[in-house]
Homo-oligomer: A and B are copies of this chain.
């Protein structure tokens, strides 16, 4: 690109009507002059060719994406991933903020994704390695999105639990149980104190456990547990399936007694969730399958924050994502940012309940609470409840006991002397 052409893709933020723009922030490595690379990034994602042959016009002014901030962080001898470029020589590590006129695509998930992480961003001349770090949306743009129907408050109202984190549990064995056996395990876990018994992300509508049957038995078990415990309970049914079955599965599961629904968001597509959101009568919960492949590489892909934000925008009331601890290989900082993304003010969107996940048991609640400094989160053990040596009732009880110990200022070991489920959990999982 000629130098005078590059200038058409630069602007002062103060000169732009920022309500009319999304800000895409990238970190990239370029083998060419960073200013030229950043201009290319704008060109390729917006007006690749800005005038017709033989016509004196310039479409960049109204339609071009514009660099509003460019910082060269570092000059390195090679790219972080040298196999990904065929260029030699020094690379510039840069951060760039691009103001992209949102009229180019409108308030639609697939078209936002095309602009921010389509061909333009990922096949840009001079740039071999790039990660989309953030998208900033003006409130007026967010207003087009329904967001969570229930949110944190709505889920708490359904459960009538306001003073502690929420206890999810993934019924295990996750694969292979009959609906009867499955519902019995869930029932036991609810009796023990679980708030939300859920299907595993791998357990959809399958021949060995049809959702029609499973949701019916789970609905009955839930109501029975509610009567016996005088607590409200949730059955979170996994309706992950082809896009054109989501509404039908919603209707069936809700009728049968599921009072929350899970979808493995990226495997179905965020846009389908938006469709489901407009229809749903119960809270929607996201599971994080197929997100790691594009978020976990440090210098390439898309930051997990972006996906959390989009999941909230399309209407998830709760988002399960990789949580604290070595098991999930995710930094505490990333987890904290993801939690913040769920809960922070964002136009008129309700906050959604963060559920940082991964190999949890009774004591995990306290660790997470200590790090997050809020009670607005869920934990979601699997084996920590369902492989508890006293069974799921004991496993679920141990979760509640650990929190009670914390509230009373007693150590878990001390509290375990009175409560054998907690003591057993410490011995099995501690």
Contacts and interface: CB of A to CB of B under 8 A. Distances in A.
B269 A173 contact: no
Give the bracket for the number of chain A residues in contact with chain B: 35 or more
A114 B265 CA distance: 10
Copies of this chain, whole number: 2
Nearest to A278: B244
Contacts of A288: 119
Contacts of A386: 49, 52-53
Contacts of A207: 103, 106
Contacts of A114: 201-202, 204, 240, 264, 267, 289-290
Chain B CB count within 10 A is highest, among A104, A118, A120, A172, for: A118
Interface stretch (A82-90, A154-162, A371-379): A82-90
A271 B52 CA distance: 37
A16 interface: no
B274 A243 contact: yes
A429 interface: no
A347 interface: no
A62 B360 CA distance: 27
A21 B109 CA distance: 34
Interface string A156-186: 0000000000000000111111000100010
A192 B392 CA distance: 72
Interface stretch (A91-99, A220-228, A321-329, A333-341): A321-329
A383 B329 contact: no
Contacts of A105: 202, 204, 206
Nearest to A113: B267
A301 to B, nearest CB: 4
B63 A176 contact: yes
A287 B267 CA distance: 18
A309 interface: no
A128 B330 CA distance: 11
Contact of A202 (B46, B125, B264): B46
A275 interface: yes
A206 B119 contact: no
A149 interface: no
25 contacts: A47-B176, A48-B172, A48-B382, A49-B382, A50-B176, A51-B173, A53-B386, A53-B392, A81-B298, A84-B297, A105-B206, A110-B240, A110-B267, A111-B204, A114-B204, A114-B267, A119-B287, A119-B289, A122-B296, A132-B293, A243-B272, A244-B271, A293-B294, A293-B301, A301-B301
